[in-house]
Amino acid sequence: MSLITEDQVVLDLTGADRHEATRMLGERLVASGRCTDLDTFLSDVRKREETMATGLPGGIGIPHARSAAITEPSLVFGRTDGIDWGAKDGPATLVFLIAAPEAGGDAHMQMLPRLARALMKKDFKAALAAATTEAEVVRIVSAEVELDQPVMAAAAAGAGAGAGAARTDTTGAAAPAAKRALTLVGVTSCPTGIAHTYMAAEGLENAAKAAGHTMKVETQGSAGSKPLSAAEIAAADAVIFAHDLPVKDAGRFAGKPLVDVGVKKGISDGPALVSQAEQLVTEWDADPSKREAAVAAAAAAGPSGGLVSKVESGSSTGTMIRQWLMTGVSYMIPFVAAGGILIALSFMLAQVAIGEQGPIEIVKYNLTSTDQYNIAQTFSALSLTSWAALLFVIGNAAFGFLVPILSGFIAFAIADRPGLVPGIVGGAVASTMGAGFIGGLVTGVLGGLVARWVSNWNVAKGVRGIMPVVVIPLLSSFITIGLFITVLGRPIKGLTDALNTWLTGMSGASAIILGVILGAMMGFDLGGPVNKVAYAFATTGLAAAGAATDAPQLKIMAAVMAAGMVAPLAMALATTVRPKLFSEPELENGKAAWLLGASFISEGAIPFAAVDPIRVIAGSVVGSAITGALVMVFGSTLRAPHGGIWVLPLIGNFLLFLLALVIGVLVMASIVVALKSRDTHLAEVEASATV
């Protein structure tokens, strides 16, 4: 079976409007035996277009529908002089009528994204516009959009099984009901809550809208979230979680059909996730016992609602640990940002007020001494030094919370609220003992596991009421902190001291190697797990930097941020200097990538990597590694964990920082352009050889 045949190609499609043109295309399906009732099919297409226009930018029309009148997945192509198909940029000249059986499984959802990806390629559209025969069109389309044979077979089988019910015949059987519009809700989150969270939400909402459904997504990101209301959740037919952190208060969604995936799936596979939700709703509607079982399980599970986070459900031990740690990092980052920027600003003011010795002098200020360095007693609104000291004291206070917050929210990710007390207090003890962020990691994991163990005890009914208030925090804190002080603390302090000694003595080749490794990690998966590990290493290291002005951890942070800016800026540059190598959607993404890259949002390069992963990621790893190494060699420093060019005044040696960034961007852009140009040239040679 083939999606398209020569009989399903119209090189001179005409019509007074898109409805008349669609009828002409549909008649080709009737003639080929793939449509049993033209009016029923056209009605289904019309219903789909009433939901959303099917015209795309660039002169494309894609009318489509699932219909009981279709016997197998099919495409019909038409080329016109220009018919209005609802796109804002003008009429359509290339039209694809997509037809799928109503009971045809995933065929419809496979055809749409494959055709959409093909239409992003200028050479694909140009080849269709220049084609002179129907056979040529079939060859061009089949090379890009042909479905997997199992999907074709399943779709045809599904259509055949439902054929008797699909037709209006002498048996009097009623036609099947059209697919109903669903009400969906969802939650998205990622470790930093900056880009993936909101991109996934937009991807899901757009996919639901395209499928004729309504959807509202709760974004549990760094900007906070507006929780879905109880009424919105109650009205939902299904739930989609796209998250890399535990969903807050997941029990709200108990008893609903649930699609549970990582946040990247929400960005790249929105239509497929919506399709999964549709299938779950259909299954639950057909078998009410599934809904009853889910509700019963939720009731038995209590406040958790019978739902566990993706961190706990079906994940490997390594994945669980990574996500526990990233939860702590995500809550720590605001403290790092506030404290780091305030300290950097205080140093800038101190240099203006006092001179070169300003930063050295300003770190003497505090809130407890009885001399002139107690800013609470000596502050003067007319003194620039006083303002610098005030900024430093506040920033230093914020830095004092880094390890406790890191530890506390790692424990929170493991045990929910019962983990906060042993985690936060354990982190404070680790900080006091000089065990640094490694000590915080240990107390967080240990405190969370102990708190979860104690909270699962089966105790007498009379004791249950005081468990969360007295028993769990008391016992978990005693066990966690007691073990750390007497057994774990001193070895971990020794390890931390050794790490700091190594970093402090790092120079020359060792600094370059570390910069290359961190830079390559930042450029490898553009906000994914590898990228986040490098970022977490840099941000947690800031806790050890304290008020020092030249700590190696500050160089690491600068290297990581510069490397993370390379990919989106390089792709923006590549689309500017060689636009013919990119599709129209990529050119639009390139414009946005300038701002995303400048703001240290590596995810700005994801649309390019999704379409062309080999060339883009290869260039990104090389360019980002070079930038990371150069920043380490140049000795640029940074206290802010985020911000891109917007925190440029806070970067030490910022001119060299910019030079390292520009070099990495130029290298990556050159690699991507060279690889794309080579493959385009090879394609031209192959095409000419076949003539």
Percent helix, strand, coil in the chain, to 5, is 65, 10, 25
Residues 6 or more apart in contact with residue 140 via CB below 8 angstroms: 124, 127, 128, 131
In one-letter notation, the amino acid at residue 88 is K
**Contact (Cβ atoms closer than 8 angstroms) between residue 15 and residue 83:** yes
Q: How far apart are CA 437 and CA 406, in angstroms?
A: 8
* Strands 60-61 vs 64-67: parallel, antiparallel or unpaired: unpaired
Q: How far apart are CA 49 and CA 64, in angstroms?
A: 8
Q: How far apart are CA 639 and CA 560, in angstroms?
A: 12
Residues 6 or more apart in contact with residue 465 via CB below 8 angstroms: none
Any alpha helices (H) in 254-315, and if so which ranges? 263-268, 270-286, 288-301
Strand, helix or coil for residue 420 = helix
DSSP annotation of 645 reads G
Residues paired with residue 238 on neighbouring β-strands, in sequence order: 184
Residues 6 or more apart in contact with residue 183 via CB below 8 angstroms: 213, 214, 215, 235, 236, 237
* Strands 183-189 vs 214-219: parallel, antiparallel or unpaired: parallel
Q: Which of 601, 544, 509, 676 is nearest to 221 (CA)?
A: 601
Query: Which of 190, 196, 243, 642 is the catalytic position?
Result: 190
Query: Which of 64, 108, 213, 243 is the catalytic position?
Result: 64
Q: How far apart are CA 146 and CA 143, in angstroms?
A: 7
In one-letter notation, the amino acid at residue 330 is S
Residues 6 or more apart in contact with residue 284 via CB below 8 angstroms: 257, 290, 291
Concerning whether 190 is annotated as a catalytic residue, the answer is yes
- Long-range CB pairs of 211-214 (<8 Å, 24+ gap) are 211/271, 211/274, 211/275, 211/278, 212/48, 212/51, 212/52, 212/179, 212/181, 213/181, 213/182, 213/183, 213/184, 213/274, 214/181, 214/182, 214/183, 214/184
DSSP annotation of 167 reads S
Is residue 231 packed enough to be buried (19+ CB in 10 Å), middle (13-18) or exposed (0-12)?
A: exposed
Output the furthest CA–CA distance in the chain (Å, rounded). 101
**Contact (Cβ atoms closer than 8 angstroms) between residue 205 and residue 52:** no
Active site residues: 64, 190
